[in-house]
Amino acid sequence: MTSTTLKRLLLAIAVVAVVAGSVIAVISASQPLSFGWVAYAPLSGDMFRPGAVQVVAPMTALGLVIAVLGLLAGAFWAGLAVGARTRPRPEGTSPRA
């Protein structure tokens, strides 16, 4: 495989990972999350209300991880594309061999 083919393949994998991870995260976050408490105080009248606690479903976390890995692959591709550019040569000079 040539380097151009590898770069295109990396870009395609990055885009697919970002899209797939985002779809997984959105679909799993839209479904209700149910969980049970292990211990409770049956005789107290207090009710537990979590303040800043946010429970994230495992599938939502997995989708976000896949999307982040896709973004990292896209950033790597961008670095390869920028680093592989050739400098313009002044007129009348020959390329190095």
Residue 61: both structure tokens together: 């976390």
Q: Tell me what pLDDT residue 27 has.
A: 94
Number of neighbours of residue 9 by Cβ within 10 angstroms = 12
Residue 97 pLDDT more than 60? no
Number of neighbours of residue 31 by Cβ within 10 angstroms = 10
Count Cβ atoms within 10 A of the Cβ of residue 15 and give its class: 0-12 exposed, 13-18 middle, 19 or more buried: middle
pLDDT digits (tens, 9 = 90+) for 21-77: 999 999 998 888 776 666 665 666 666 666 666 778 889 999 999 999 999 999 999
pLDDT digits (tens, 9 = 90+) for 4-19: 888 899 999 999 999 9
What are the structural domain ranges in the chain? 1-32+58-84
Indicate whether this model's pTM tops 0.95.
Answer: no
